[in-house]
Amino acid sequence: MDLSKLLVPEAVKVFGQSPAKKRLFQELGELASQAYGLSSAYVFDGLQERESLGPTGVGNGIALPHARLEGIDRIFGVFIRLERPLDYESVDRQPVDLIFGLFAPKDSGVDHLKALALVSRTMRDANVCAKLRANADAGKLHAILTEARTPQAVA
């Protein structure tokens, strides 16, 4: 599994303004709708439901909102880079500017966890994050994310 299989170029966006968290989830839903043909409201509801269990801001300016959804047949992602960080209620209480949304079939089980681990490893790479923060072109951001090589977990 690699990010090039989870993230299409059309699912990457730079957002100039800093929306509220709820509006950010709406943007993630709209991006998923445009890139993958899903209902933006359905994606939004899935994100809200998951976030109610606990914040998905993992620290260092990174958020990994995710949801399991009925009616999809594969795992996919969306990515937004904010030009101005957003208060996200992250574990380190720092605002976020890099948001990778991940969506999986309701019954995906361990595949969802593997995809989430892959995204997490990629986003924990300081070099990848520095490159993402230094670029405002969606195509370049997609290339950075999908070309990132992260070490595999040792079994």
Supply the residues annotated as catalytic.
66
Q: What burial class does residue 1 get, using C-beta atoms within 10 Å of its C-beta: 0-12 exposed, 13-18 middle, 19+ buried? A: exposed
- Integer CA distances (angstroms), 113 to 47, 108, 144, in order: 16, 9, 22
Q: What are phi and psi of 9, to 5 degrees?
A: -55, -35
